[in-house]
Amino acid sequence: MGSTSFGIPEHRFGSNGEKMPVLGFGTAVFPPVGAEATKMAILQSIKLGYRHFDTAAKYGSEQPLGEAIQEALSIGLIQSRDELFITTKLWCGDAHEDLVVPALKRSLQNLKLEYLDLFLIHWPVS
């Protein structure tokens, strides 16, 4: 893996000045390439300078992203989880009042994270 890095502009929003990189790295792949290839692609993208990652329970890429984040922290590619902007999505099958929180908790567990920066509704139907 190379070490070239580039800067990605950020958009500031909210009253506290939260920022979101305007370019994100998507993790949906068809046909699927497997968890290890996904993890390696994410690690390479972190080396290149990506800090916004888009995943979804439906993609099957939450666990490889979580593993890549843990590895990036352990080898010093990033110093803190706070350097990243993580988006995942609620699948329409879970878009029911009693299923949203359990789905969010599963995603957090898959990602090995304590919080998300953005939790989107994948499709606006349930």
Q: Which residues are catalytic?
A: 59, 122
Q: What share of the chain is helix, strand, coil (3-state, %, to 5)?
A: 40, 20, 45
SS (H, E, C) 18-62: EEEECCCEECCCCCCCCHHHHHHHHHHHHHHCCCEEECCHHHCCH
Alpha-carbon 117 to chain mean position: 9
Which two three-digit tokens encode residue 12? 């500031």
Give the position of tokens 């929180």.
101
Asked if residue 90 lies in contact with residue 122, where contact means CB atoms within 8 angstroms, the answer is yes
